[in-house]
Amino acid sequence: RTRFAPCPTGYMHLGNLRTALYTYLYARRKGGRFILRIEDTDQEREVPGAIDVIYNSLKTAGLSHDEGPDVGGPVGPYIQSQRKDTYMPYAKRLIESGHAYYCFCTKERLESARAEAEAKGETFKYDKHCLRLSKEEIRARLDAGEEYVIRQNIPSEGKAGFDDVIYGHVEVDCDTLDDNVLIKADGLPTYNFANVIDDHLMGITHVMRGNEYLSSAPKYTLLYRALGWEPPAYVHLTPVMVEGTQKNKKTGEYLMAADENGNPVLDENGNPVKAIVKRKMSKSQGDPSFEDLLAQGYLVEAVINYLVLLGWSPRGEREFYTLKELEEVFDLEGLSKSPSFFDMQKLNWFNAEYVRRLSPEKYLEIASPWMARALDPAKFDFRRLAELLQGRTEVFSQLPGMIRFLAELPDYSPELFVNRKQKSTPESAKAALEAAIPLLEGIGEWTEAGLHDRVMEAIPGLGMKNGQFLWPVRIALSGQMSTPGGAFEIAWLLGREESLKRLKQGLEKL
């Protein structure tokens, strides 16, 4: 029994999706259950509609959960705020056994203690002040309605540890751990405490999560022991990293590059250069979320295939897997101990491979809305365009820019007519266009085949090589060096009148 337990903060970042993917795949591989639990105990950070984003993202990715808020199950509710009454009895049980205690410290006292620790250059750790209160004083303060939290009572000596599938045995000295809050003043559990209680009550056998929780896990083990429970198997996943710019979280300003002497690095215009750093992927730093990638025209299957390989290695050299195939081969042994790096160029390559494997009908279905952003479908043959574009498409969001020249000829420089490889010079380009205009004017049936046969038949008589003639014709028709299809395909898509108009405009440039 595995679980994916996101916080409803508004979107599905790729690290979250990868955790969900690994958790789902392991459950399927083992014939187990994949559970969705919404962890919304931090009410201040919750974004309206975020739970629906989680449902939609999982559904779109193909990760169907067996139990969850929307499908039910035997150990619900599956939203933590709806389980509020579940946690206090366990907190009080810990108080009775001496593993937790009431804390009445005010915000002012804690801030003062924290400031004092910082002034000494020390890490703040709660001083167990309220642990020393007598039972009578505690009862009097509770009866008086004083605000309180419940803290975990970490032993002052000894060690706390656990076994992790990736990192092996992890152990820390107890005196380095803080007495963290289990129940907040609003009566809701903290993230850490709710995790322990819910994982046990829901029968979770394997917990997969980011390694930022590695330092908290020893405290979880102490709670499991205090409650007499067996902890689940832990799998702390290494982060997904990226090389990119980074903003200061407080000021929102970018970190700037500096040389070995600490002086700012300047570009050719004398402006400071942004520093390129290795950091965790983050929406706040401008990195794309799952929804962003889909909106940009990446295929779900390509994103999932690429994402599963960021931190997991299959046996052998194979890279392409369907989700169903991954369910049959995913294992914990292939998980990496090193951070993985998200490479947009590699994702583009994956996506392009998946695009090429689409049927022509499926490609046309996906591409048509993108082409319609640049062209009127009533004026252009989208089916023919799709045939020309499929082999050149990396990401569907590129399509409008690739075909916009058909709707409106862009302004272009006469220098484009010059091409050494095609032996095209301004003089030869002018000669080619002068010959092409009457040649195309005389073509009876305006078809790709008709254009091809008539032009290719005429070129030898003009004393030109094929490329020397066709290069300037294509430049005049498109105004750009790279196009889907060559001169004949473009001329047919544009039609006789528009093609001749553009050829004459090109001749005027020369």
As a whole number of angstroms, the distance between CA 223 and CA 232 comes to 12
Which residue is listed with tokens 């108009």? 501
CA-CA distance, 375 to 369, in Å (whole number)? 10
Q: Could you give the C-alpha distances from 335 to 309, 314, 330, in angstroms and in order?
A: 9, 9, 9
Structure tokens at 40: 């919304």
Bond from prior residue into 231 cis (ω within 30 degrees of 0): no
Q: Which two tokens stand for residue 103?
A: 């804390």
3-state helix, strand, coil in the chain (%, to 5): 50, 15, 40
Q: What is the C-alpha separation between 173 and 161, in angstroms, rounded?
A: 9
Residue 389: partners with Cβ closer than 8 Å, 6 or more residues away: 367, 371, 399, 402, 403, 484
Q: Which tokens go with 122?
A: 């020390």
Q: Compute and round to an integer the Cα radius of gyration of the chain.
A: 32
413 CB burial (10 A radius; 0-12, 13-18, 19+) = exposed
Calculate helix-pair angle for 496-509, 466-478, nearest 10 degrees: 100
Task: Quote the tokens at residue 280.
Answer: 């965790």
* Residue 249 buriedness (CB in 10 A; 0-12 / 13-18 / 19+): exposed
Residues forming beta bridges with residue 240, ordered by sequence position: 340
Which of these is catalytic: 280, 283, 430, 501?
283
User: What is the DSSP-derived secondary structure letter of residue 421?
Assistant: T
Q: Where are the beta strands (DSSP E) in 74-179?
A: 100-103, 149-152, 159-164, 168-173
H/E element, 2: strand 2-4
CA–CA distances in Å: residue 405 to residues 44, 382, 401: 49, 15, 8
- H helix intervals, 185-268: 191-201, 217-227
Which is it for strands 34-36 and 100-103: parallel, antiparallel or unpaired? Answer: unpaired
Active-site residue, 283 included: yes
306 and 16 Cβ atoms separated by less than 8 Å: no
Crossing angle of helices 14-29 and 50-61, rounded to 10°: 50
Q: Are 358 and 390 in contact (CB under 8 A)?
A: yes
Catalytic residues: 283
